[in-house]
A and B are shown apart, each in its own frame.
Chain A
Amino acid sequence: MSEQAWPPLVIVVGAGGVGKTTLAASMGLLSAEKAEDTLVMTFDPSLRLKDALGVGEEAKGDEVQVTDHLWASLLDAKQTFDRLVARYSPDDQARDRILHNRYYNHLAGGLAGILEYMAVERLFEVSESGRFERIVLDTPPTRQALDFLEAPTRIVGFLDSGALRIALRPWFDGQGNLRPTARLGRLGRRFESYLDEVVGLDLLREMVEFFQAFAPLFDGFRERAEQVEKLLRSPSTLFVLVAGPGEEKIPDALFFARRLRDAGYTLGPIVVNRMHPRIEAHEREGEGEVGQVDGMDLFHWLGDRDARGFEELGQLVGQDHPVVGLPLLESEPSDVETLRQLASEFEDRLQEAE
């Protein structure tokens, strides 16, 4: 894959702490330097990277121009969710009912997968606008990179208020008030008291209110999720998988690579990031202080470990698929110049791997 072949959408996935965000930023820079208008969408980047890109809080919600052809934005789940609610609400009243609901506020900030879902939502929004020739999306750190793909379906399933409304109908009237229990019979009464003991009726009432308020929006959300799914599966959307170095990380990377391919997503290069260099035996004569782990012995071990992991992964993934190793840097990029160096290193290694 030469640099011309990067598709319009590049999604960088992988576990937390593997340097995804930095890599996404440098890929964006690479693309921008080919004079293509490029947006890097990222979550919670380090201060250093924010400095490198020259973006701050103002990039939350809006794209901030970094260089002639490079823009960056910071994603905020709650803000994106609010914006979606506003878009699909039939009127201001309906919108406010949701935005002020306590259950909604908890969901919008805390429901597992919401950040991932909002990332693809925002991606779709920007991609539809046609403002950029290329978008590089850095995904939120997940323990399992898989969460990212499952999030839209899971969240839409969760928001499917239809099923919930039917389930709640016997206990709540149209206003979200609990019906007089006498009308429910013994079974209903028991069910209600169990619910109160385990869930708390106050919370349940807020949930009912939320799902009632959300009902008119649901069709919009579902349609949207389907479109988002289509976008993710499109051949012009490329997934770049980033993994940490070392044998321990192989099962994770392999699992996710297989899963992406099996599910029909387009898997691009797999990047093994932050690899320790391999060093020769004669370089490592003990220089550590007495009683301490010797630095060069440790580096020797780390270099071997990382090289072994890299080779193994390459074999397991198959020769036809590029696996690219990137070195651990002396320090994280703190300006555009060091980002550029990382980017060109990436490009070189990618060409070697193909």
Chain B
Amino acid sequence: MNASTLTPLISRELIVVTGKGGVGKSAVSAALGGLLASQGRRTLILEIDPRENVHQMLAAPPSGGEIVQVTSKLYLQHLQPRMVLDQLVRERVRVEFLTKRVLESPVYHHFSEGAPGLKEMAVLGHSLLLVQGRVPGAPAIDVVVVDAPATGHGVALLRAPRLVSEVIRQGPVASMTKEVAELVASPDRCGVVVVTLAEEMPVTEALELRADLRSDVQREPDLLVANGLYPPVSESTRETLETADARRLWYSRRELNDAELARLDEHWSGPRVKVPLFPLDRGPELVAEIERELAQ
């Protein structure tokens, strides 16, 4: 990973990987995690999606909420934000029946479901505690790669500390919010990776995400990954082989990719990696290929 676009990301404590569903975000998160681990960073991939996915990429057993060791330096965990909040209540309210009362109260249910930014804060707070070695029973972790939920913009995650600090001003959540806000605001400690396909809707969404990042958290993405590209077509090939349907389809899909890559170029001059479509099912082999592309 010498002097690659990834170099600035190596020393971060938190890397948020965002992008809409279906763009290969989990595969990129897994590859990024693998690369960081291969550089000696003790890395944990934190997955938030309702359904577990990353373990398949790494051929690891499912996490079910626990931390799973994948290789000597790579871990993964699938997390429901609600679990983090429940744990917080348990730690704070040490009396058993009171804990139960809080956890089962409709007020708690409603606020944990509907309070602005709270679930996102739970995810970030958990990440912070992990890298600070403050999660009981967890291994030592240098960097957490968050595979952000597919629904909604990943920017919601980064916006959360401010939302929460507006309504909660004291107690453990408030102090954690302050720490998390500092982490997220620091480009040296927190990185943002945007994954997209080079197709119209995903690119439009990636550009919106970038605008939101800028206006809401005053951040730029550290890396943009254009994933799933059809293979380039050389000029000579294009001229001679424009007959068969499949070939024409290949050329037009690649042309579409090129047009959308150009649109990305227009709006984004920062670090960018192009990752081709591989003839591989999701799994470690695919992740290894993406790792190679990211490392270039």
Instruction: Please list the residues of chain A having a beta carbon within 8 angstroms of any beta carbon in chain B.
Output: 15-18, 46-48, 103, 106-107, 110-112, 141-144, 158, 163-164, 167-168, 187, 190-191, 194-200, 202-204, 207, 244, 247-248, 276-277, 279, 283, 287-289, 292-299, 301-303, 305, 328, 330-332
Chain A residues within an 8 Å CB radius of B98: 187, 190-191, 194
What are 29 contact pairs spanning A and B, CB under 8 A?
A: A16-B22, A17-B21, A17-B22, A17-B201, A110-B116, A141-B20, A143-B49, A158-B113, A158-B114, A164-B110, A167-B105, A191-B101, A191-B102, A194-B89, A195-B102, A198-B102, A198-B171, A199-B108, A199-B111, A199-B167, A276-B246, A283-B246, A292-B232, A293-B278, A295-B231, A295-B250, A302-B277, A331-B256, A332-B200
CB-contact partner of B200 in A46, A111, A144, A207, under 8 A: A46
Q: Are the C-beta atoms of A203 and B111 separated by less than 8 Å?
A: yes
Task: Please state if A295 and B107 are interface contacts (CB–CB under 8 Å).
Answer: no
Contact yes or no, B230 A295, CB < 8 A: yes
Known contacts being A16-B22, A244-B22, A287-B241, is A199 close to B252, with CB within 8 Å? no
Contact of A196 among B171, B201, B231, B247 (CB under 8 A): B171
Closest 6 CB pairs of A and B: A197-B171, A301-B279, A200-B168, A17-B22, A330-B252, A203-B167
Give min CB distance, B55 to chain A, whole Å. 14
The residue on A at minimum CB distance from B256 is A331
Complex Cα–Cα for A190 and B89 (A): 13
B70 interface hit (Cβ, 8 Å): no
A197 and B51 contact, CB distance less than 8 A: no
B111, A204: Cβ atoms under 8 Å? yes
Most-contacted residue by chain B among A197, A294, A328 (CB, 10 A): A197
Q: Is B138 interfacial (CB 8 A cutoff)?
A: no
Besides the known contacts A106-B116, A191-B101, A198-B173, 14 further A-B residue pairs in the complex with CB atoms under 8 A apart = A17-B23, A17-B202, A47-B200, A112-B151, A187-B98, A191-B98, A197-B168, A197-B171, A198-B108, A198-B172, A248-B282, A276-B246, A292-B276, A293-B279
Q: How far is the CB of A219 from chain B (nearest CB, A)?
A: 19
B interface, CB within 8 angstroms of A: 20-23, 49-51, 85, 88-89, 92-93, 98, 101-102, 105-108, 110-111, 113-116, 149-152, 156, 167-174, 197, 200-202, 204, 230-234, 237, 241, 244-250, 252-254, 256, 276-279, 281-282
Residue of A158, A197, A203, A297 touching B115 (CB-CB under 8 A): A203
Contact across chains for A328 and B249 when beta carbons are under 8 A apart: yes
- State A143–B85 Cα separation when bound (angstroms): 23
Contacts of A141 in B (CB 8 A): 20-21
B residues near A17, Cβ cutoff 8 Å: 20-23, 197, 201-202
Residue of B nearest to A330 (CB): B252
User: In the complex, are the beta carbons of B51 and A144 less than 8 A apart?
Assistant: yes
Asked whether B106 lies within 8 Å of A163 as measured between CB atoms, the reply is yes
With A200-B167, A331-B252: A279-B21 Cβ-Cβ less than 8 Å? no
Q: Which residues of B contact A247 (CB under 8 A)?
A: 281
**Which residues in A have their C-beta under 8 angstroms from that of B115?**
199, 203
* Minimum CB distance partner of A195 in chain B: B107
- B168 / chain A contacts, CB cutoff of 8 Å: 197-200, 203
Closest B residue, CB atoms, query A142: B151
Q: How far is the CB of A144 from chain B (nearest CB, A)?
A: 6
Cβ-Cβ contact count across A and B, 8 Å cutoff: 175
A247–B116 Cα distance when bound, in Å, is: 38
The prevalent SS among residues of A at the interface is helix
- Of all chain B residues, the one with the shortest Cβ separation from A162 is B106
Bound: A261/B247 CA distance, A? 39
Specify which chain B residues have a CB less than 8 angstroms from the CB of A276 in the assembled complex. Answer: 246, 249
Q: In the assembly, what is the distance between CA of A143 and CA of B20, in Å?
A: 9
Check if B253 sits within 8 Å of A328, measured CB to CB. Answer: yes
Question: Inside 8 A of A163's CB, which chain B residues have their CB?
Answer: 106
Which A residues lie within 8 Å of B106 (CB)?
163-164, 167
CA distance A289 to B254 in the complex (A): 14
Q: Flag if A168 contacts B22 (CB, 8 Å).
A: no
Please, how many angstroms separate the alpha-carbon atoms of A332 and B234 in the complex? Answer: 23
Say whether B174 contacts A16, CB under 8 Å: no
Task: Check B107 against A204 for contact (C-beta < 8 Å).
Answer: yes
Given A277-B249, A298-B277: A196 and B116 within 8 A (CB)? no
Q: Which residues of A contact B149 (CB under 8 A)?
A: 143
Closest beta carbon of chain B to A52's beta carbon, Å: 12
Please measure, in the bound complex, the distance between the C-alpha atom of A297 and the C-alpha atom of B85, giving whole angstroms. 49
Max chain B CB contacts within 10 Å: which of A17, A18, A187, A204?
A: A17
Contact indicator B247/A295 (Cβ below 8 Å): yes
| Given contacts A158-B114, A296-B247, A197 and B92 within 8 Å (CB-CB) | yes
Do A167 and B107 form a contact, CB below 8 Å, given A196-B170, A287-B237?
Answer: yes
| Residues on A with beta carbons closer than 8 Å to the beta carbon of B113 | 111-112, 158
* CA A328 to CA B204, docked complex, whole Å: 20
Q: With A48-B200, A196-B170, A331-B256 as known contacts, state yes or no: A158 contacts B20, CB within 8 Å.
A: no
A106 and B119 alpha carbons, distance in the complex (Å): 14
B281 pairs with A248, CB closer than 8 A: yes
Contact of B279 among A18, A283, A287, A297 (CB under 8 A): A297
User: In the complex, which residues of chain A have a beta carbon less than 8 angstroms from the beta carbon of B170?
Assistant: 196-197
Least CB distance from A123 to B in Å reads 21
Chain A residues whose C-beta falls within 8 Å of the C-beta of B281 in the assembled complex: 247-248, 305
Q: Is the CB of A330 within 8 A of B111?
A: no
Would A197 and B21 be within 8 Å (CB), given that A143-B151, A203-B115, A298-B231 are in contact?
no
CB–CB B246/A289 < 8 A: no
Closest to B289 in A: A293
Q: How far is the CA of A40 from the CA of B163 in the complex (A)?
A: 36
